[in-house]
């Protein structure tokens, strides 16, 4: 009997299995295909806006995605540098060969982890508790906890033109019965859809027609623990191209051959709003003359190039014409055609914030099965599910990150509170406290949790304490040190066209001036601290007013988060609550008043009535 | 629950005194901010303190302020009660001041709700509060919707549409940084857009002044030397329509001496008794009292005697009058003309010639008032204005935030930081018609911009 079985070896499954086994719980990772562990079936990048911050958060908590990406990427970039401190994020082009390999190396090094191949089609359920899994050949494997991270493999259908084929992204066998069985146990199942573009032979593209997009010329790492292991000059470039009028004509002329535009009449899945197919783009934005396409390498070790922006479910012969109409792609050879994929997921309002399901005890779910999209979204859920599985085994309270703690907190709260209509992607605009949830402070926000749950070791924790101390010291230094204005200083202000401060200001006051940054200050006076400490203090001082405002808002929400709603509350007994609100509250079963407020369809008056009811029935401490 | 709330606790309308109740953690400091008198943060609990409510050192009202510290108060929180003496218009002004200084307008029954939640009153009482909360919210909601089906609603919606366009564009810039076919919102692009929003808000606020007129009427002061005919004019205005005098609610005996109406709009003729009673000659025109009356009034009827020359005091006083809306009345045209108007620099159309004794000029005066306030228009348009103090304070708050954005643009703050303030304005506006949803923003992003893998 295992402590934990993780079903699925994608990005969620890997993090979940790693967290459990790292903490020495006897863990089984079972996947339908051993070759697909940590596979990247869609785009080749890790990170990006908001998502890059999630990768840092995973690393801060003790997860592995950031480290694996750091060791294997083809290029890395800082996005949004000039747009402000809260929206900066890293994005790396992953190597689809070495990333999974490195991940497998890490997993194989864990003594408590066993990895097996097998198709899971049912669960052993006794008395609303999960006791293990049942494979397609009838084999039963027992475990105390099961984590489902099945990705797009629940009743997956590949859609191309007028064909619908029951298979997974690489043509593998999907799980045919697991989602039906979940339905039988009481889960609401929803059907989603996503798509992917063509892969092109990199040797058949005329790069002179494309615009080159190199990696950054400064070093970056996702991980707080690793030094860069690549060379700037070794990074592989990406390229840019555009659709042409001819491309648009081909698509318009063949529109009814696309699965999504009439070739198939049984489409149920709801596709992501933020990831439309090229057909969608041509139809919805008919007046646009061209659409941008990103040409991205997939690996050093094979020839596939990923054509981001060209996702389609057209038949193969139309795809040939479409690709050849692109500048630089006249003679391009398609190695793999684009397709749409439909799959089953569970409605995530059936989850608790720990990612344990409300319906079956000891059953956790993470990743695309919960309706999200993206490797990073999956990985962070896997990590949280893994951590909370171990905490449950150890009889401890689950780790629940708040919306003001992490993007991970935002993601999970959105899923369980609001539910989803289309596959969920993290966006900067979803985080109301994004000024607190920065790329640069993920370790300061989250390492302590990683340490508490046992994934961050003493040595790394000491490093964090030291960093915190140095930040404090630099702040004090800047608050007490005055800038002496001598001739040389004057000259530097003049050279940089910055007006000279009147009187003797402290460094802390100076840095608040918009035109003065830490780099300039370092040219005036010695600041005896490392660059990362300087950057941290610069942001905290420069945007202090805004940060304080955000913290105040967060505290306000925290007070409401503390007002708990008992699990056994009967919403039918509360008079005067609007019927839509009653139905939503019954569905979501919010654990706190703050969560109840965030449910769409629950109005302030309903919250008042609810608060009063709680007070009356459960006493003053609610 | 942690906000500091305030509301007018007495029923609106009749009564010489209105009480505004403030409850919450910041009740005392907020009240202290607008109070001139003892330092309220230092007075003992359960004391009544005399002083004035001031706005930028300008006295709004003479008040008594009771301070009751937690837990010995109705809500068990810190409670301050302001006894206003200045009638409904002044009380509203005090309320507005509190709202702009950090209070939130209490929902109906909210004081009672807090009292209950803080164990101050028992559950039986609370049951009735519960009904109250629900019933009233429903009506309030409907009222809010009804109140917004007008020009203002459209203006606010178009304002929010302008803003969501900018916000979603910035968010797309952030979340899809490499899409070069999406307009990059820089501070330069932002600046005119923000200016446009600012102008629209200012326009709405201006319009809402009209709303106040519909709701509260026009406060009129009759200013002039003793014996110029002020009482006669007051009587002439009121005599005409006695029935209305008794019908109009919302006036108080305290400052309003008489009420009449034109085109359904109440004219509150405010007390200038001090001036009338002053029995000395020229020097004792009662400058001080007149200035106070001018301050309180929306419209000044400046009365001159056709039979007398103009004095320097009159010229001085008229300079003050000119800061407000005014109509110059030359009374006693039945007597020989001694007056020389050139010193006052008047336009022909600002002057009404009148002889109250012979009933000449009253009709013209009324027509003048109608013209001045466009009352014909108000009557015909059937406009719904933003009249409640809450919406107005939200809009003023938005203007403050816009100034912050503008100075941020000037200081070259990154777009990320500016967006926080812009989004806050958008959310704030949404509170007026209750339609702020995050989903709205996301939908907008993906509707307007072509993105994806």
Does the beta carbon of A282 lie under 8 angstroms from any beta carbon of chain B? no
Q: What are phi and psi of B141, to 5 degrees?
A: -60, -50
Phi-psi region of B160 (alpha: psi -120 to 50; beta: other; left: phi over 0): alpha
Give the nearest chain A residue to B452 (CA atoms): A275
Mapping DSSP to helix (H, G, I), strand (E, B) and coil, where does residue A124 land?
strand
Size of interface A-B (CB pairs under 8 A): 137
Chain A interface mutation, best of B187, B428, B452, highest count of A Cβ atoms under 10 Å: B452
Task: Give the domains, in start order, of chain A with CATH numbers.
Answer: 2-194+343-453 (3.50.50.60), 458-549 (1.10.10.1800), 562-618 (1.10.150.570)
How far is CA A177 from each of CA A163, A604, B227, rounded to the nearest angstrom?
22, 42, 100
Give the nearest chain B residue to A555 (CA atoms): B2
Q: Do B442 and A427 touch (CB under 8 A)?
A: yes
B109 confidence band (pLDDT: 50, 70, 90): low
3-state SS, A460-475, equals: HHHHHHHHHHHHHHHH
Give the nearest chain A residue to B126 (CA atoms): A612
Cα–Cα dist A93/A45, whole Å: 4
Question: How far is CA A348 from its chain centroid?
Answer: 16
Give the nearest chain B residue to A86 (CA atoms): B416
Tokens of A320: 């040939």
| pLDDT confidence of residue B391 | 72
Residue B108's nearest CA partner among B136, B83, B139 is B136
Does the beta carbon of A489 lie under 8 angstroms from any beta carbon of chain B? no
The beta-carbon contacts of B51-57 under 8 Å, at least 24 apart in sequence, are B53/B82, B53/B84, B53/B94, B53/B97, B55/B93, B55/B97
Q: Do B133 and A605 touch (CB under 8 A)?
A: yes
Does the beta carbon of A620 lie under 8 angstroms from any beta carbon of chain B? yes
Q: What are phi and psi of A35, to 5 degrees?
A: -70, -15
| Overall residue count recorded for chain B in this entry | 453
DSSP of A315-352: -HHHHHHHHHTSTT-TT--EEE--EEEEEEEE-GGGB-
Q: For chain A, how far is it from start to end, CA to CA, in angstroms?
A: 40
Mapping DSSP to helix (H, G, I), strand (E, B) and coil, where does residue B252 land?
coil
Give the nearest chain A residue to B1 (CA atoms): A560
Does the beta carbon of A340 lie under 8 angstroms from any beta carbon of chain B? no
- Say if residue B117's pLDDT is above 90: no
Q: Do B177 and A311 touch (CB under 8 A)?
A: no
Element (H, E) at A499: none
Cα–Cα dist B130/A612, whole Å: 7
Tokens of A218: 């400064």
| pLDDT confidence of residue B245 | 35
Tokens of A191: 């059907």
Residue A423's nearest CA partner among A353, A350, A345 is A345
Contacts of A560 in chain B (CB under 8 A): 1
Which position has the token pair 């309180």?
B296
Contacts of B416 in chain A (CB under 8 A): 80, 83-87
Contacts of A559 in chain B (CB under 8 A): 1-2
Contacts of A616 in chain B (CB under 8 A): 123, 126
Residues 6+ apart with CB under 8 A from B239: none
Cα–Cα dist B121/A405, whole Å: 37
Q: Report the 10 Å Cβ neighbour count for A372.
A: 27
Q: Do A612 and B437 touch (CB under 8 A)?
A: no
How far is CA A22 from each of CA A27, A418, A429, rounded to the nearest angstrom?
10, 33, 34
| pLDDT confidence of residue A610 | 83
Contacts of B176 in chain A (CB under 8 A): 49
Alpha carbon of A403: minimum distance to chain B alpha carbons (Å): 15
B211 confidence band (pLDDT: 50, 70, 90): low
Tokens of B90: 């002044």
Tokens of B232: 């006669």
Q: Do B452 and A281 touch (CB under 8 A)?
A: yes
Residue A412's nearest CA partner among A436, A439, A383, A445 is A383
ipTM for the assembly: 0.82
Q: Do B181 and A49 touch (CB under 8 A)?
A: no
Mapping DSSP to helix (H, G, I), strand (E, B) and coil, where does residue A289 land?
coil
Cα–Cα dist A93/A604, whole Å: 45
Cα–Cα dist A61/A387, whole Å: 10
DSSP of B46-103: SEEEEEEEEETTEEEEEEEEEEE-TTSSSSSS-EEEEEE-SHHHHHHHHHHHHHHTT-
Angle (nearest 5°) at CA B452 between B446 and B453? 165
Asked if residues B341 and B351 have their Cβ atoms less than 8 Å apart, the reply is yes
Contacts of B119 in chain A (CB under 8 A): 620
Cα–Cα dist B210/B213, whole Å: 5
Mapping DSSP to helix (H, G, I), strand (E, B) and coil, where does residue A76 land?
strand
Element (H, E) at A126: strand A120-126
Which position has the token pair 């997974």?
A168
Task: Give the domains, in start order, of chain B with CATH numbers.
Answer: 5-106 (3.30.1360.120), 151-210+388-448 (1.20.120.430), 217-381 (3.40.50.300)
| pLDDT confidence of residue B241 | 42
Q: Do B176 and A311 touch (CB under 8 A)?
A: no
Cα–Cα dist B60/B98, whole Å: 12
Chain B interface mutation, best of A243, A274, A551, A556, highest count of B Cβ atoms under 10 Å: A274
Q: Do B446 and A274 touch (CB under 8 A)?
A: yes
Contacts of B453 in chain A (CB under 8 A): 42-43, 196-197, 275, 308-309, 311
Q: Do A600 and B437 touch (CB under 8 A)?
A: yes
Contacts of A605 in chain B (CB under 8 A): 133-134, 137-138, 141
How would you label A338-371 residue by residue, b for 16+ Cβ within 10 Å and e otherwise? bbbbbbbbbbbbbbbbbbbbbbbebbbbbbbbbb
Alpha carbon of A79: minimum distance to chain B alpha carbons (Å): 7
- Say if residue B380's pLDDT is above 70: no
Chain A 119-178, residues with CB within 8 Å of chain B CB atoms: none
Give the nearest chain A residue to B141 (CA atoms): A605
Mean pLDDT on B207-217 = 68
Q: Do B416 and A86 touch (CB under 8 A)?
A: yes
Residues 6+ apart with CB under 8 A from A149: A6, A7, A8, A10, A12, A13, A16, A365, A366, A367, A369, A378, A382, A385
Q: Report, as ranges of residue numbers, the positions in chain A whose pLDDT lies below 70.
A: 576, 604-605, 619-622
Contacts of B173 in chain A (CB under 8 A): 83
Q: Do A86 and B1 touch (CB under 8 A)?
A: no
Contacts of A83 in chain B (CB under 8 A): 173-174, 177, 414-416
Residues 6+ apart with CB under 8 A from B27: B4, B6, B77, B78, B79, B80
How far is CA A5 from each of CA A21, A120, B423, rounded to the nearest angstrom?
11, 11, 44
Q: Do B442 and A273 touch (CB under 8 A)?
A: yes
Q: Are strands B256-262 and B218-224 parallel, antiparallel or unpaired?
A: unpaired
Partner residues linked to A90 by β-bridges: A78
Give the nearest chain B residue to A432 (CA atoms): B420
Rg (CA), chain A: 26
Which position has the token pair 């010193």?
B343
Chain A 396-455, residues with CB within 8 Å of chain B CB atoms: 427-430, 435
- Say if residue B434's pLDDT is above 60: no
Asked if residues A420 and A353 have their Cβ atoms less than 8 Å apart, the reply is no
Tokens of A597: 């407020």
Which pLDDT tens digit goes with each residue over B297-336?
889 999 899 988 888 878 888 888 888 889 999 999 998 8
| pLDDT confidence of residue B137 | 35
Chain A 203-262, residues with CB within 8 Å of chain B CB atoms: 213
Q: Do A291 and B171 touch (CB under 8 A)?
A: no
Q: Omega of the bond prior to B71 within 30 degrees of 0, cis? A: yes
Q: Do A85 and B131 touch (CB under 8 A)?
A: no
| pLDDT confidence of residue B440 | 58
> In this complex, which of B119, B415, B416 lies closest to A620 when CB atoms are compared?
B119
> In this complex, which of A43, A277, A612 lies closest to B130 when CB atoms are compared?
A612
Asked if residues A119 and A136 have their Cβ atoms less than 8 Å apart, the reply is yes
Asked if residues A366 and A385 have their Cβ atoms less than 8 Å apart, the reply is yes
Cα–Cα dist A415/A12, whole Å: 16
Which pLDDT tens digit goes with each residue over B389-407?
667 778 888 999 999 999 9
| pLDDT confidence of residue B215 | 62
Residue B380's nearest CA partner among B275, B281, B263, B277 is B263
Phi-psi region of A308 (alpha: psi -120 to 50; beta: other; left: phi over 0): beta
Alpha carbon of A608: minimum distance to chain B alpha carbons (Å): 8
Cα–Cα dist A238/A210, whole Å: 10
> In this complex, which of B171, B416, B437 lies closest to A84 when CB atoms are compared?
B416
Alpha carbon of A197: minimum distance to chain B alpha carbons (Å): 8
């Amino acid at each position: 009997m295992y402590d934990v079985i993780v079903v699925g070896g994608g990005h969620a499954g890997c993090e979940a299995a790693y967290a459990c086994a790292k903490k020495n719980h006897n863990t089984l990772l079972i996947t339908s295909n051993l070759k697909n562990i940590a596979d990247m079936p869609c785009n080749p990048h890790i990170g990006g806006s908001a998502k890059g911050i999630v990768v840092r958060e995973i690393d801060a908590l003790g997860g592995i995605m950031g480290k694996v990406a750091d060791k294997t990427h083809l290029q890395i970039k800082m996005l949004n540098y000039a747009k402000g401190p809260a929206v900066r994020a890293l994005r790396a082009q992953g190597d689809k060969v070495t990333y999974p390999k490195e991940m497998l190396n890490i997993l194989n090094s864990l003594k408590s982890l066993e990895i097996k191949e097998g198709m899971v089609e049912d669960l052993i359920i006794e008395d609303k508790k999960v006791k293990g899994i049942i494979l397609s050949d009838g084999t039963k494997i027992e475990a105390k906890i099961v984590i489902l991270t099945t990705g797009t493999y629940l009743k997956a259908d590949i859609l191309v033109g007028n064909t619908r084929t029951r298979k997974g992204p690489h043509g593998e066998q999907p799980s045919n019965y697991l989602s039906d069985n979940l339905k039988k146990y009481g889960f609401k199942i929803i059907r989603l859809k996503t798509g992917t573009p063509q892969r092109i032979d990199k040797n058949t593209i005329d790069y002179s027609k494309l615009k080159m997009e190199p990696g950054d010329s400064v070093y970056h790492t996702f991980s707080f623990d690793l030094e860069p292991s690549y060379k700037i000059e070794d990074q592989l470039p990406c390229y840019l191209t555009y659709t042409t009028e001819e491309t648009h004509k081909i698509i318009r002329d063949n529109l009814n051959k696309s699965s999504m535009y009439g070739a198939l009449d049984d489409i149920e899945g709801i596709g992501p709003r933020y990831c439309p197919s090229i057909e969608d783009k041509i139809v919805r934005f008919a007046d646009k003359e061209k659409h941008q396409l990103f040409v991205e390498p997939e690996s050093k070790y094979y020839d596939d190039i990923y054509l981001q922006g060209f996702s389609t479910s057209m038949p193969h012969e139309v795809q040939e014409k479409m690709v050849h109409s692109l500048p630089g792609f006249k003679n391009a050879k398609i190695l793999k055609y684009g397709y749409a994929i439909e799959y089953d997921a569970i409605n995530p309002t059936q989850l608790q914030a720990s990612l344990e399901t409300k319906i079956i005890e000891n059953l956790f779910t993470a990743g695309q099965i919960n309706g999200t999209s993206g490797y990073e979204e999956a990985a962070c859920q896997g990590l949280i599910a893994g951590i909370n599985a171990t905490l449950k085994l150890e009889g401890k309270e689950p780790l629940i990150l708040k919306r003001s703690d992490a993007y991970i907190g935002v993601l999970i709260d959105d899923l369980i509170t609001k539910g989803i209509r289309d596959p969920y992607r993290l966006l900067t605009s979803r985080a109301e406290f994004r000024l607190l949830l920065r790329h640069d402070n993920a370790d300061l926000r989250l390492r302590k949790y990683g340490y508490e749950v046992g994934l961050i070791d003493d040595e790394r924790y000491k490093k964090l304490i030291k960093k915190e101390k140095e930040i404090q010291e630099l702040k004090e230094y800047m608050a007490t040190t005055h800038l002496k204005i001598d001739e040389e200083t004057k000259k530097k202000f003049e050279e940089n066209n910055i007006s000279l401060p009147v009187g003797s200001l402290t460094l802390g006051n100076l840095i608040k001036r918009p035109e003065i940054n830490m780099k300039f200050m370092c040219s005036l006076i010695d600041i005896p601290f490392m660059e990362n400490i300087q950057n941290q203090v610069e942001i905290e001082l420069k945007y202090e007013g805004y940060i304080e405002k955000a913290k105040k808002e967060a505290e306000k929400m925290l007070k409401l988060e503390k007002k708990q709603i008992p699990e056994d509350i009967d919403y039918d007994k509360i008079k005067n609550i609007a019927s839509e609100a009653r139905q939503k509250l019954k569905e979501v079963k919010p654990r706190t008043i703050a969560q109840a407020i965030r449910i769409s369809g629950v109005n302030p008056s309903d919250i008042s009535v609810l608060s009063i009811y709680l007070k009356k029935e459960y006493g003053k401490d609610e | 629950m942690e906000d500091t709330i305030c509301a007018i606790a007495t029923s609106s309308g009749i009564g010489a005194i209105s009480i505004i109740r403030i409850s919450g953690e910041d009740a005392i400091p907020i009240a202290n901010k607008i109070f001139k008198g003892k330092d309220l943060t230092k007075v003992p609990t359960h004391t009544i303190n005399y002083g004035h409510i001031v706005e930028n050192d300008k006295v709004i009202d003479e008040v008594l302020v009771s301070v009751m510290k937690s837990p010995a108060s109705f809500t068990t929180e810190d409670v301050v009660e302001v006894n206003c003496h200045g009638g409904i218009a002044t009380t509203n002004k005090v309320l507005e001041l509190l709202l702009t200084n950090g209070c939130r307008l209490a929902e109906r029954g909210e004081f009672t709700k807090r009292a209950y939640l803080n164990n101050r009153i028992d559950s039986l009482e609370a049951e009735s509060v519960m009904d109250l909360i629900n019933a009233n919210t429903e009506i309030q909601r409907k009222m809010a919707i009804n109140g917004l089906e007008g020009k203002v609603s459209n203006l606010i919606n178009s304002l929010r549409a302008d803003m969501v366009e900018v916000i979603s564009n910035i968010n797309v810039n952030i979340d899809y940084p490499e899409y070069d076919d999406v307009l990059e919102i820089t501070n330069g692009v932002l600046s005119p857009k923000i200016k446009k929003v600012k102008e629209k808000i200012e326009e709405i606020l201006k319009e809402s002044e009209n709303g106040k007129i519909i709701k509260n009427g026009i406060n009129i002061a009759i200013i002039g030397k003793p014996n110029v005919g002020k009482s006669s004019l007051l009587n002439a205005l009121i005599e005409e329509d006695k029935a209305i005098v008794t019908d109009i609610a919302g006036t108080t005996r305290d400052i309003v001496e008489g009420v009449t109406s034109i085109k359904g709009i109440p004219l509150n003729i405010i007390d200038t008794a001090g001036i009338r009673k002053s029995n000395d000659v020229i020097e004792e025109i009662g400058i001080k009292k007149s200035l106070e009356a001018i301050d309180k009034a929306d419209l000044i009827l400046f009365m001159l005697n056709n039979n007398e020359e103009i004095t320097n005091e009159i010229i001085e006083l008229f300079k003050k009058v000119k800061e407000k809306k005014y109509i110059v009345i030359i009374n006693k045209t039945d007597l020989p003309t001694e007056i020389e108007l050139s010193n006052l620099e008047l336009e022909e159309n600002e002057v009404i010639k009148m002889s109250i004794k012979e009933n000449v000029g009253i009709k013209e005066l009324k027509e003048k008032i109608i013209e001045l306030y466009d009352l014909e228009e108000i009557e015909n348009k059937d406009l719904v204005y933003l009249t409640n103090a809450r919406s107005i304070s939200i809009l003023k708050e938005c203007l403050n935030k816009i100034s912050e954005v503008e100075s941020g643009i000037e200081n070259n703050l990154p777009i990320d930081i500016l967006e926080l303030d812009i989004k806050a304005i958008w959310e704030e506006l949404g509170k007026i018609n209750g339609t702020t949803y995050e989903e709205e923003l996301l939908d907008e992003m993906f509707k307007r911009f072509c993105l994806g893998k």
